[in-house]
A and B are shown apart, each in its own frame.
Chain A
Amino acid sequence: MTQYVLRRLVVLPIVLFGVSVLVFMVLHLVPGNPAQVIAGPDAPPETVAQIERELGLDRPLPEQYARYIGRVLQGDLGRSLRSRRPVLDDVMDALPNTLQLTLVAAIITPLIAIPLGVIAAARRGTRVDRGLMLLSMLGITVPVFAIALGFMWSFGYQLRWFPISGYGGPIWTFDGLRSVALPALTLAVGAVAALARLTRSAMLEVLNQDFVRTARAKGLRERVVLARHGLANALLPVITVLGLQIALLLSGAFVTETVFAWPGVGRLAVFAIQGRDFPLVQGTVLVIAVLFVLVNLVVDVMYAYVDPRIHYQ
């Protein structure tokens, strides 16, 4: 166990190094001269040269990377070309909003998915089961933006239950909670669908075991059998996949935040790319990727902790 955690911690810097190299390379994949692209086609050469100097593009690549990583490690992600503010400030303003949205989605996901999966397993082969599985198939294949627009249209415009878009405040306030509802639901749909399927199959596996037959034979009510003998034993794979899904929620944030005008890191990244604001693009991508790596690490370690039977080589 300790060894496993140590191994993962040793690999971590390698992965982070790779991530930083990839993010660094983003600027150098820009076709032509990035400084020219930023300045615009008609910009005078002095402006282009100034941007080149500002971004350090006039130096050899390894030196550029060394300077870049040096600055990043000191918390300096450069300056946004548009707002002229430090990228870190922009990202830090947006990050709490993304985390709130992700947190709410992460809380609703198991609350919806696990009961649905248990019901489908308990009613295996019936119309209820088939209907739920069809729904979850839809949840997996329908594009996130279509789900977002569908929710917006139905719950926002038609039923008027929730505000259509925007940030209504922190989620512990009433307005904030109302404003986060639609984006969080949207974000959760894919995860709910995947998790419900998994819960169903994990439950079915457990319900086939001898101790479940024994539990039924000794006359326990079905509800008790399902909860105490079924779900309790099916929960482990469910927790793992839940962890993976929570990490992946981060990538759903791009679409969801953009559609619902939610001022998070995902929307910031999309704006940055549209505005060709490369330092901001690098900053947002780096922060999201690092966050993802760390969440994954925590999930893996927790998993090993929860199930002592698991040995990692």
Chain B
Amino acid sequence: MNVAAAPARMGAGAQVEPAVVPRRQEFVRRFVRNRAGLLGLAIIAVLVALAALADVIAPYDWRSQDIVRRFAVPSPQHWLGTDELGRDIFSRILFGGRYSLTIGVGAVLLSFVVGTLVGIVAGFYRRLDGLLMRVVDVMLAFPGILLAIALVGALGPGLSSVIIAIGTTEIPGFARLNRSMVLSLREREFVVAARVVGASDASILLRHVLLNLVSPLLVFASLRMSTAILVGATLSFLGLGIQPPEPEWGAMVSTARQYIATAPHTFAYPTLAIFAAVVAFNLLGDALRDTLDPTLRH
């Protein structure tokens, strides 16, 4: 994750020109042509469906142990084998998807709402800009995962702590992106024109500014989903997030690492699940960026 943080910083720091949102059919037509994006979307759809329907699909209860068949290799009975307590890895991965997706959505939603608010206020009301951006700078002074680790360290383990910790860490990125877009939008003719005809701040913000932020924010949020899922799994892997015996993917890998020499499948499959989720949201984000706004490419 040391690298995962890097593109966010660069992306957020760059001056971005919001482009006009393409019409819906045009958007769908262009998106469908993007194969990588479709693949990402398909993986996400599968992951969401598997997590949502885990109760129905899972062949076993994620808790049920079968000590006789511990470390069973993949077979028709246990598609992905069993772990150190003889629990079915496939079933556990299905249920674990709920954690990863909840963490991703929760953390991104939190940073999206707070970061957008902070960024718009800083960009629109310049008097508050200095103060808000200094706070953002301080948060960025923590390398990558450190702030999330410190926060989760204070809040203690658990789902809500992980969401708050990761969500807070992600706020600066959203704040900077919004601020830079608002700064360039507020000088554009249509905003100046709205002001000239006497529109209130609220109406300018809602109708002219916020609407133009939607597509870049969508792109950014999708890319940050993959980081949030990755950091969530990492925190659990370090034993700081979701705790075993919960079937969180990172926690599963963490337990499996003791048996790495004898049963590599116990760590391979949960790892693959994390990787699939991370890559899928990355692909979706890239495709959305290319489709919605080619100028966002850096």
Interface residues of A (CB under 8 A from B): 14-15, 18-19, 21-23, 26-31, 37, 139-146, 149, 152-153, 157, 187, 190-191, 193-194, 244-245, 247-252, 254-255, 258-259, 269-270, 272-274, 276, 278, 281, 285, 288-289, 292-293
In the complex, whether B6 has a CB less than 8 A from a CB of chain A is: yes
Interface residues of B (CB under 8 A from A): 1-6, 134-135, 137-139, 141-147, 149-156, 226, 230, 233-234, 237-240, 250, 253-254, 257, 260-261, 264, 267, 271, 274-275, 278-279, 282
> Which residues from B are CB-within-8-Å of A141?
226, 275, 278-279, 282
> Which residues from A are CB-within-8-Å of B239?
270, 274
> Which residues from B are CB-within-8-Å of A191?
2-3
B5 touches A273 (CB 8 A): no
Q: What is the distance, in angstroms, from B132's C-beta to the closest C-beta of chain A?
A: 12
> Which residues from B are CB-within-8-Å of A144?
1-2, 234
With A19-B141, A289-B141 in contact, is A259–B257 under 8 Å at CB? yes
A270 touches B279 (CB 8 A): no
> Which residues from B are CB-within-8-Å of A252?
1-2, 144
Residue of B6, B155, B275, B282 touching A143 (CB-CB under 8 A): B275
With A142-B275, A289-B146 in contact, is A149–B153 under 8 Å at CB? no
A18 touches B145 (CB 8 A): no
A141 to B138, CA, bound (A): 27
The chain A residue with its CB closest to the CB of B270 is A146
B267 touches A270 (CB 8 A): no
A18 touches B135 (CB 8 A): yes
B1 touches A153 (CB 8 A): no
B138 touches A18 (CB 8 A): yes
A272 touches B137 (CB 8 A): no
B237 touches A249 (CB 8 A): no
> Which residues from B are CB-within-8-Å of A14?
134
With A145-B253, A149-B253, A157-B260 in contact, is A292–B143 under 8 Å at CB? yes
> Which residues from A are CB-within-8-Å of B142?
19, 22, 285, 289, 292
Query: What are 15 of the A-B contact pairs (CB < 8 Å)?
Result: A19-B141, A30-B156, A141-B278, A141-B279, A141-B282, A157-B261, A190-B3, A191-B2, A270-B149, A276-B156, A278-B154, A285-B146, A285-B153, A289-B142, A289-B143
Question: How many A-B contacts are there with CB distance less than 8 Å?
Answer: 156
> Which residues from B are CB-within-8-Å of A281?
150, 153-154
A26 touches B153 (CB 8 A): yes
A297 to B187, CA, bound (A): 33
The chain B residue with its CB closest to the CB of A34 is B154
A288 touches B146 (CB 8 A): yes
The chain A residue with its CB closest to the CB of B257 is A149
Residue of B1, B3, B143, B150 touching A23 (CB-CB under 8 A): B150
With A157-B260, A245-B6 in contact, is A272–B153 under 8 Å at CB? yes
A143 touches B278 (CB 8 A): yes
A28 to B154, CA, bound (A): 8
Q: What is the distance, in angstroms, from A302's C-beta to the closest C-beta of chain B?
A: 18
Q: What is the distance, in angstroms, from A162's C-beta to the closest C-beta of chain B?
A: 14
Q: Which of B149, B274, B275 has the most CB of A within 10 A?
A: B149
With A143-B275, A190-B2, A259-B257 in contact, is A250–B143 under 8 Å at CB? yes
A143 touches B233 (CB 8 A): yes
A190 to B240, CA, bound (A): 22
Q: What is the distance, in angstroms, from B168's C-beta to the closest C-beta of chain A?
A: 10
B279 touches A293 (CB 8 A): no
B143 touches A269 (CB 8 A): no
